[in-house]
Amino acid sequence: MRNRKWLIKASKSAWRFLGWCFLLGCCTLLYAKLIEPNWIEVNSLQLTLPHLSSEFNGYRIVQISDIHRDRWMTPQRLRRIVRLVNRQKPDLVAITGDLITRHSSKLIASVGVPLAQLTPKDKTVAVLGNHDYENNTKAIIQVLAQSGVSLLSNDVYTLQRGNAMLHIAGVDDVGMGKARLDLVIQQLPSEGEAILLVHEPDFANTSAATERFDLQLSGHSHGGQVRLPFFKPLVLPPWGEQYYWGKYQVGNMLLYTNRGLGMTGLHLRLFARPEITVFTLVAPKF
C-alpha cells in the first residue's frame, strides 16, 4: 500500500515537472522567436588606439553587421535599424558584411533606399560577407554604390584632418577566398592610424601579425545566435569559431566581433541579442 501511494505521488511529481519543463520550453521558444530578435542592443565602447592622432580624438564609428535581408528582415525593420544608427550621430558607419541572406537576390534592390538614409558626417563604408557572394554580387555592389556606400574590396579609405590621417581598410571575404591583405598593405601609407574591416573575425590572427592595424571590426558569427549563458555556442561558422563575440586582444591589435542584426537558419536568437556598436576613438596622452 505504501509503495503504491509512493508511486502515485512520484508519478504526479514527474508529470508536474514535465509540465513545468514544457511551459518553460514554450516560453523560451516564444522569447527567442518574438522578443530577442527585435531587442537591439546599442553597445557603446571607448577605445584608445596607440597611433590615433589627436585630431581624431572622440571620432565615432558605428558598426552594423549581418543585416541578412530576407523575409524576416523586412524594409520596415531595416529602416528602424537606420534610425537607431543615425541617433548615435556617427562620424563614420562601418558595415561588416552579409547584407543579404544567401539565395535572396530578388531582395537586393530593397536594401538601397534604407542604406541611402544613413547620415554619418563623413562616410558609410562596407565589406562583403560570404552570403553576399552567394547572391548576385554585382547587383549588391551596384546598390551599395547607388546608396553612397563605399565598398572596401581589398581597399583603403583615408580620412584627413589637416596632416593627420585615419585609414579605414577593408579586406574582401575570407571564406570565399577573396581576401587580399597584401594589396591592402601595399596601399596603406606608413603614417596614420589604421583600422581593418573584415567579415570573418578569426582572420585577426593573420591581420594582427602584420602589426599595422590597431583595431579590427568583424561580424559573421552572430554571437552564436542561439546559446546558453556562460557556455560557448554549440554551432559557429568557419572563421568565426575562435573570436565569436565582443572584444579581444589579438597580439597588439584589438578585435571587436559584432553580433549582427539578422539571422540565418532557424530565425531565433537566445542570449545573443542583435547589436549596433558605437566606438568612440581616444587618442593616447603623451
- CATH label of the domain that carries residue 173: 3.60.21.10
Residues 198 and 158 in one domain: yes
Residue 184's nearest CA partner among 161, 165, 209, 157 is 157
| Residue 30 pLDDT | 77
Task: Answer yes or no: is pLDDT of 8 > 70.
Answer: no
Task: Answer yes or no: is pLDDT of 14 > 90.
Answer: no
Residues 117 and 16 in one domain: no
Cell 565615432, residue?
Answer: 60
Residue 116's nearest CA partner among 74, 89, 149, 73 is 149
pLDDT mean over 134-142: 95
| Residue 280 pLDDT | 98
| Residue 19 pLDDT | 58
Task: Answer yes or no: is pLDDT of 20 > 60.
Answer: no
pLDDT band at 229 (very low <50, low <70, confident <90, very high): confident
Q: Which three cell numbers stand for residue 253?
A: 591589435
Residues 90 and 211 in one domain: yes
pLDDT band at 173 (very low <50, low <70, confident <90, very high): very high
| Residue 148 pLDDT | 96
Residues 131 and 259 in one domain: yes
Residues 203 and 156 in one domain: yes
Task: Answer yes or no: is pLDDT of 177 > 70.
Answer: yes
Other CB atoms within 10 A of residue 270 CB: 19
Range of the domain at 21: 1-38
Q: CB neighbours of 103 closer than 8 A, spacing ≥ 6? A: 134, 135
Residues 253 and 112 in one domain: yes
Among 28-32, 41-45, 202-206, the range scoring the smallest mean pLDDT is 28-32
CA 23, 25, 27, 31: dihedral to nearest 10 degrees?
A: 180
Residues 99 and 219 in one domain: yes
pLDDT in tens, 63-75: 999 999 999 999 9
Residue 152's nearest CA partner among 97, 108, 200, 206 is 97
| pTM recorded for the entire structure | 0.92
pLDDT band at 33 (very low <50, low <70, confident <90, very high): confident
Residues 122 and 68 in one domain: yes
| Residue 29 pLDDT | 72
| Residue 31 pLDDT | 83
The radius of gyration computed from the CA coordinates of the chain, to the nearest angstrom, equals 22
Residues 107 and 218 in one domain: yes
Task: Answer yes or no: is pLDDT of 266 > 90.
Answer: no
Residues 148 and 259 in one domain: yes
Residues 161 and 215 in one domain: yes
Domains held by the chain: number: 2
Task: Answer yes or no: is pLDDT of 275 > 70.
Answer: yes
pLDDT mean over 232-242: 93
Residues 166 and 273 in one domain: yes
